[in-house]
Structure 1
């Protein structure tokens, strides 16, 4: 997948035309649809999180999209994001379905991602193979960077085909934006971070394994001014929360500017 700063990067706006099913076992009960890319007519299946669903909102969509952009820019496998435009005509198709009411309250832009076939939730009680281990280590380091507390044993939020791993579901990433007392050293974890870090589902699988910390540090350098400007431009205006975006950007830039300190921290945790 192209970096978001590449000229060929494309964030599709999708017009849904066929409803397939609702994933009722997921917290926000997303729906699977067939949709058409309004810019090129390409048809694919997408998973759509409806704005009126549990934990969803415009600003949650912004966080989810921004986390996806960060992963894409750093070359970390993430399900391909999309913007899905729910219309009244599409909602009419859903009448009689349990998801109709939520969809009716979600007219407009909603967060979607390309539905990938032949992938299943990563099984956590099995040893990772060499390909999976390298990706899993990078995913763990990413989650420490963006303070993603939502990758747990009960909700791994990772899909695999036995070789590749893709990450998803980042609407509650950037947990530091909700801190009552801000961390004056963003690259250093506080005692209050120990709980969510120790409960990360990947930690037991990657701990004490060799990891290229310098390579991960180089990935952080991809998050430059051009990246942040492009991210803001790509986020739909209805989802934009400038104060929260700037808080996220400023916090992460401070980590990047002191990345040696941050890399030392994650090395302590992963060693």
Structure 2
């Protein structure tokens, strides 16, 4: 069975500052390994589902060789944040005790600007294919969710992908949707090698790789109050969704290619 690198587990020791971008209110924190991380809280916004999307989307990107900051499980002790003066932040911390998710902080990184930095067709095709596969709605010109760090492009923030899991009414149908929102992708115009990338990535993402990624989801993130599924059943649904979507990749591939033709 193919292996997927497991996440390190660290304890948060210092809340440094909120990063007031979007609705999830992530924060810059320091962990007990002395490194700084962008912490995504399970008590914020869409809760654990956003963390699951961040974890799966990020690990798939990593498996495909795309650059993302290291993902780390970050634990919050029950006593953490009691002295925080901001009530909103205190509530967020109180609702996030236990396991959360962090991304290694890329110090002095700059937000990717498509008007300043040109992305080659191969990299653009890889990123567009990834986002069409994981149904990532959040890589647009208004919000690229990419950084330039040490003259390299880095992908961040996959919490808005896999949006089918916010309803779970028909994951089978969701798995074969064309994903029309790919038309708004910031790199679509440059993505001229989608067919080549599709063949290449389908060889990399085996069932074993997908299953190993899904198995990284902590059980406490799968104990949903608004559903009747067990953690094992939820992992199976995530695996089946991704596996079925991959085996039908021509559906989202053709959608992306047709949307690109309208731009060029």
TM-score in terms of structure 1 length: 0.79
Q: Structure 2: which 5+ runs fail to align?
A: 223-230
Tell me if structure 2 keeps the 8 A contact 1:49–1:112.
yes
**Pair 102,124 (structure 1): closer, same or farther in 2 beyond 3 Å:** same
Give the deviation of 1:87 after TM superposition. 0.8
Question: Alpha carbon RMSD of aligned pairs, Å?
Answer: 2.7
Corresponding residue for residue 95 of structure 1: 84
Corresponding residue for residue 24 of structure 2: 28
Corresponding residue for residue 238 of structure 2: 248
Give the deviation of 1:256 after TM superposition. 2.8
Corresponding residue for residue 201 of structure 2: 219
Give the secondary structure class of the aligned counterpart of 1:165: strand
Residue among 38, 41, 44 paired with 1:47: 38
Tell me if structure 1 keeps the 8 A contact 2:67–2:155.
yes
Give the deviation of 1:187 after TM superposition. 5.2
CA distance in structure 1 between the partners assigned to 2:45 and 2:136 by the alignment? 18
- Deviations for 1:206-234, whole angstroms, at most 9, x for unmatched residues? 2xx53263244222322223223322332
CA distance in structure 2 between the partners assigned to 1:231 and 1:187 by the alignment? 20
Give the deviation of 1:181 after TM superposition. 6.1
**Pair 250,124 (structure 1): closer, same or farther in 2 beyond 3 Å:** same
**Pair 228,210 (structure 1): closer, same or farther in 2 beyond 3 Å:** closer
Corresponding residue for residue 17 of structure 1: 13
Give the deviation of 1:11 after TM superposition. 0.5
Give the deviation of 1:184 after TM superposition. 5.0
Tell me if structure 1 keeps the 8 A contact 2:132–2:253.
no
Give the secondary structure class of the aligned counterpart of 2:215: helix
- The reply on whether 1:5 has 2:18 as its aligned counterpart is no
Give the secondary structure class of the aligned counterpart of 1:33: strand
Residue among 49, 54, 58 paired with 1:68: 58
CA distance in structure 2 between the partners assigned to 1:86 and 1:146 by the alignment? 29
TM-score in terms of structure 2 length: 0.81
Q: Structure 1: which 5+ runs fail to align?
A: 37-41
Tell me if structure 1 keeps the 8 A contact 2:73–2:99.
yes
Corresponding residue for residue 185 of structure 2: 200
- The reply on whether 1:231 has 2:221 as its aligned counterpart is no
**Pair 183,18 (structure 1): closer, same or farther in 2 beyond 3 Å:** closer
**Pair 157,242 (structure 1): closer, same or farther in 2 beyond 3 Å:** farther
**Pair 186,89 (structure 1): closer, same or farther in 2 beyond 3 Å:** closer
Where does structure 1 differ by over 6 angstroms across 4 or more consecutive aligned residues? none
CA distance in structure 1 between the partners assigned to 2:63 and 2:111 by the alignment? 24
Size of the alignment, in residue pairs?
A: 250
